[in-house]
Amino acid sequence: MNQESFNPFSMAQLQFDHVADILDLDKAVRDLLRNPMREYAFNIPVRMDDGSVNIFRGFRVQHNDARGPCKGGIRFHPLETMDTVRALSMWMTWKCAVVDIPLGGGKGGVIADPHNLSAREQEQLCRGWVRQLARNIGPISDIPAPDVMTSAQHMLWMLDEYEAIHGGKMPGFITGKPVGMGGSLGRTEATGFGVIYTVREALKQLSIRPEDTVASVQGFGNVAQYAIRLYTQIGGTVICVSCWNQNDQTSYSFRKKEGIDLDALLDITDRFGEIDKAKAKELGYEILPGEAWIEQEVDIPLPAALENQISAETVVNINPRVRAIVEAANGPTTPDADKVIAERNIFLIPDFLANAGGVTCSYFEQVQSNMNYYWEKDEVLGKLDVKMTSAFIAVSELAQKRNLHMRDAAYVIAVGRVAQACRDRGWV
């Protein structure tokens, strides 16, 4: 995959243009929704442990807030770009709209690799990010959350800095916080579980029993881990997972044809989702190239890593057995690969529907934090199941009614809701 020539924001705009034609949106609405409303780019000076000062580049993009405050995660990634953040903020707008929660889309990031930073340096980076944006984000305007290589601890440092600047307790400023410090029970599981709630509904529609299905998963971070757990609980079998190896600067797939043992793999996995190759081999796993996950003889390939993973080059490697693709990652499938998937009549659950469990539960956390009243875990996951199931059914019914692919149906619902909110406010 040629990451250098891939522009996620161009892809997000192409997807939007396609659905704008379906909805026959006028020029003003297209111009408003095709680009973010506000963008921030800034430097974050951090004094390192050796006494030197490093300057990190940070971003925050607020795509649209017609339906409510912006919402979206913060990534720490060495290859972060403004265009990646722009694309993710746009996808967040559609994600919030498709599950019908009163939020808009935002996203943030820092060009940094936490693997190479001490805990103190990461704390200073978090506090520096907040200092640059303290006047432009907050519980009634833009609520951040964790994303790739950020954690509950990062969110707590950010909250502490925000509260110190503004002089008050404002737990609703940020979500993904530790439970006990304003975080919500069920938030850790939410994205992965939400993915499988949609899988369950899709299999019902396809008249396939979960216990008759096999899956392969790209990625082994939080989303993948909880998706695997719930998928196996409903009867499915995962035979292959892939993850990035920091030492080798490459990815590997770990396969066990009779099914992986999630808990055994977690015992040999670090906090970044990196599986120990040597220990995995001792446990009987085949070590394959990173791209091997997509070639497996499975019913469900489940990308749960980064953008641009199912492209024109890789889609041809999808096994003929595949019945459904479930996009747990953001933007994993390029438009040209989408066409091939549609031609092969593979059922696809698009990213901003499949992985909306995270932002839905973040919304629940925000509500709980703002009213200082917290729900039990079963209540949180029950509300999440209802939201995800309702959204899936609405998209599926529209797809069948108008003979649309699932991605197009999801976009029609999401973009339609946002466009109407912009009209109702008199913006266009």
Residues marked active site are found at 107
147 by Cβ neighbours in 10 Å (0-12 / 13-18 / 19+) ranks as: buried
Q: Which residues pair with 72 in a beta bridge?
A: 144
Query: How far, in Å, CA of 72 to CA of 32, rounded?
Result: 19
Q: Which residues pair with 107 in a beta bridge?
A: 61
DSSP-derived secondary structure letter, 176: S
Query: How far, in Å, CA of 8 to CA of 334, rounded?
Result: 9
Q: Are strands 237-245 and 250-255 parallel, antiparallel or unpaired?
A: antiparallel
117 contacts 125 by C-beta, under 8 angstroms: yes
Instruction: Please state, in angstroms and as integers, the Cα–Cα distance from residue 93 to each residue in 68, 294, 399, 412, following that order.
Output: 10, 29, 20, 13
Query: How far, in Å, CA of 304 to CA of 217, rounded?
Result: 7
222 contacts 254 by C-beta, under 8 angstroms: no
* Alpha helices, H only, 48-81: none
Instruction: Please state, in angstroms and as integers, the Cα–Cα distance from residue 423 to each residue in 91, 419, 426, following that order.
Output: 20, 6, 5
